[in-house]
Structures are given as C-alpha cells and as structure tokens.
Amino acid sequence: MEKIENERLLKILQHFPEIGPVSEIVPLTSGLINQTYKVVTELPGQCDYVLQCINHHVFTNVLLLQRNIELVTRHIRQKLEARGETDIRRKVLRFVPTEEEVTYYFTGEEYWRVCEFIPRSKTLEAVTPETSYLVGLKFGEFEAMLADLPERLGETIPDFHNMEFRLAQLREAVEADKAGRLEGVREIAEALLKDGDDMCVAERLYREGKLPKRICHCDTKVSNMLFDEEGDVLCVIDLDTTMPSFVFSDFGDFLRSAANTAPEDEPDVEKIHFNADVFRSFAKGYLESAAAFLTDLEKEMLPYAVALFPYMQAVRFFADYLNGDTYYRIQYPEHNLVRTRAQLKLYQEVLQATPMMRDYIQELTRP
Ligand code: GN1
Ligand code: MG
C-alpha cells in the first residue's frame, strides 16, 4: 500500500484509543460494498483488528446502522454468556469504541469503524453438503437468538429486500434507459417483469397480516460466516444488513450463492445448476434451529424464498446495468449484464426444482 494511504489510515486508527502500535495494514479484498483492511498490531498478546470504511452512499444512516449492530452483538453476547459458552470473543463480533464512546469515526467525509479480528478463523468460498448443514444451523440460530430482541431495529437500507420496490426500480430504469443500453436486452426486461406479480406474494401477505417480519441477517452468503481450524462454525459476520425482513431473505439468499454450481457472475450459463444436496442439507440445518419460531406459512413458503433471491438479484443487477453501473462494483463493462443472465438462469433452475423442495420441506416439518 502507498505510504500516504498508510499514514492516512494510521491517523484514523488513532481515534480508537484501545488499539496499540500497528505493524501493518493490509487490504482485505472481499465484498462489493465496503472497503476493508486488516490491522496487524505489534505487541504480542494484542489482538489484530478489521478497519472498514463504511460506504455511506449505500448505508446512508450510519448512526442507525451502528446502533443496529451494537444491539445485535450485545444481545447475542448475552445469550452466549447465559448458556455458558466459552471463547465468546471468537463467537460474536466486537466493535471498538472511539474516544467519543461510539463505534464509528467520521473524518468529515468518510465513516470508519473497527472491530476485533477473530484469530484462527477462516471463511469458505464454497460449501459442501456438510458445511451447508452447519451454516443452516447457525443462520437459524442467529435468527432464533434475535427473535426476542427487545429493541426495534431500523432498516439500514430501506426496502432492501422489498420485491415490489426492486421491481419499481427496474421499471424506472427501463423507462429512463439512462445509459442507452436497453436496445438489445429488452427480452431480459420482459422475462423479468413477466414474473413480477408472482414474486411479490410475500409483500401482499404481509399487508394482509399473514406474514411477519423478523430480524434477519439479509446477506447470508457462506463468506459471511467464520469457521475455525477444525471446520466448526465460529460466528456470523457482516451485520450491516441485519434488520427486519421476511425469513425468506436468509434462507433464499444463502442458497442463491451456495447452491449455485457456478459463481454468481458465471458467463457460461450452461454451467449454472441448482445443487439439490446443498439445498437439502441447508434446509435441514436451518429448520433444526428455526422451526420452533417459524409459522406454518413461513415454512411452506421456503421454496418460494429460494426462487425469490436469484430473481431479485437479477432484477437488481439488471437495473444497475441499465442505470450505467452506479451501485455494484464492476470488473469489466458488461459485468452487470453477465451477472443478470447468470441469476436469471439460476432462477429458472430453481423453479424446476420446486416440487422436489416442497416435498423435502414437508418431510422435514411433518409432525
Ligand atoms: C452486495 O457487498 P456484498 O458482496 O456483501 C449486496 C447484496 C448482494 C451482493 C451480490 C448492501 O453484497 O445484497 O446480494 O452484493 N449488498 C448490498 O453479490 O447491496
Ligand atoms: Mg455484505
């Protein structure tokens, strides 16, 4: 890293008094939204840290964001303590206070925060049926632990997983055609809009009072979970989008990445299939820890959740493509279009797997 950049980051770190002398700051490349670094400290026995610049164009209300995160981590820590858990430092994130006793520092332009780096932990980039069972258990437990959080959380991104809202954004993008890209990809817009009504069923049931919102993680990819050296799950990370949502968010979005046989931006759609084994083991783990608080309707609608997320992601990627790539970081000019096609293909594969998923969920939830 450049010397000037390094000095700038060191200055920011000075506002977090508990951090001792730093020997190195290393960029951590992951995530499409926030800029993240590992801060290696000098003294033996002192933990390392993760320094992050919060993308406040995405998370416009940083106060609300950090309040949510503080409430969530405190609640989980209390639960872990209450059940006599050991090594809690590695099982829930801890954010470091600034000299003002808040968990973010504002430079006048940017918001920064620091959390402890969890030692001897790793992320997995892909899952096997075995690991997806463990991840299912853990995300189900995460929701279960937060089911009795007394405080109300705000929406860190308003309408984040609101399908009606995402479709409205797509319609606007089609209408405006800001980047002049619609010609030639019109059939994608049509394919997406044709299924719009079906995919908005959760929002309608919510208005009718038939579906609840609960506190969900809303970014349940496998890379947002830390494992220890033995391959056991340690802790859930990336809590930025933890907010009230349908439980479909956590169930569906996990399988969107984990049960895809190819990356989310695979250019060759023939490689994209839905991995039924990953689905089954994740569903089994998830329902083992979440079934107790889910309603029958929520359980019955889990296959819908699995279709909803590739569909929603296709809508979001495509709207961003039409808008001229203003939201997702891209690596090449057509990246968002490639991502859209890949998600659309996954959506179609999931629809074909729906009868199988229905049978399996029924089997798991039969009294
Ligand atoms: C973004 O930054 P990252 O990779 O955690 C996005 C998710 C998308 C994902 C697609 C705040 O997540 O909703 O599913 O990209 N997060 C936000 O890769 O928009
Ligand atoms: Mg994220």
Question: 11-40: buried (b, 16+ CB within 10 Å) or exposed (e) per residue?
Answer: ebbebbeebeebeebeeeeebebbebbebe
Q: How does 167-193 read in b/e, with b if 16+ C-beta sit within 10 Å?
A: bebbbebbeeeeeebbeebeebbeebe
User: What tokens appear for 50 in the block?
Assistant: 């993760």
Q: Is the CB of 257 under 6 A from ligand 1?
A: no
Report the alpha-carbon distance of residue 180 to residue 191 in Å, rounded. 19
What is the predicted pLDDT for the residue at 125? 76
Q: Is the dihedral of CA 141, 33, 153, 163 positive or negative?
A: negative
Name all domains of the chain by residue range, CATH numbers in brackets.
Answer: 2-116 (3.30.200.20), 129-365 (3.90.1200.10)
The helix (run of H) or strand (run of E) holding residue 215 is strand 214-216
DSSP secondary structure letter of residue 26 = E
**What's the predicted TM-score (pTM) here?**
0.92
* Ligand 1 contact, 52 CB (< 6 A): no
Cβ atoms < 10 Å from Cβ of 355? 10
Tokens, residue 123: 């992320």
245 ligand 1 Cβ < 6 A: no
CA–centroid distance, 324 to ligand 1, in Å, is 17
> By the 8 A CB rule, do 170 and 318 touch?
yes
Q: Whose CA is nearest to atom 4 of ligand 1?
A: 31
Helix axes 302-323, 354-365, angle to 10 degrees: 140
Ligand closest to CA 33: 1
pLDDT of residue 283: 98
Alpha carbon of 109 to ligand 1 centroid (Å) = 23
Q: Is the CB of 12 under 6 A from ligand 1?
A: no
What is the pLDDT tens value at each position of the chain, 367 positions in all? 788 889 999 999 999 999 999 999 999 876 666 789 999 999 988 999 999 999 999 999 999 999 999 999 999 999 999 999 999 999 999 999 999 999 999 999 999 999 999 999 999 878 899 999 999 999 999 999 999 999 999 999 999 999 999 999 999 999 999 999 999 999 999 999 999 999 999 999 999 999 999 999 999 988 899 999 998 999 999 999 999 999 999 999 999 999 999 999 999 999 999 999 999 999 999 999 999 999 999 999 999 999 999 999 999 999 999 999 999 989 999 999 999 999 999 999 999 999 999 999 999 998 7
Q: Whose CA is closest to atom 17 on ligand 1?
A: 33
Nearest to 75 by CA among 155, 154, 152, 148: 148
pLDDT value of residue 276: 98
Does the C-beta of 31 come closer than 6 Å to ligand 1? yes
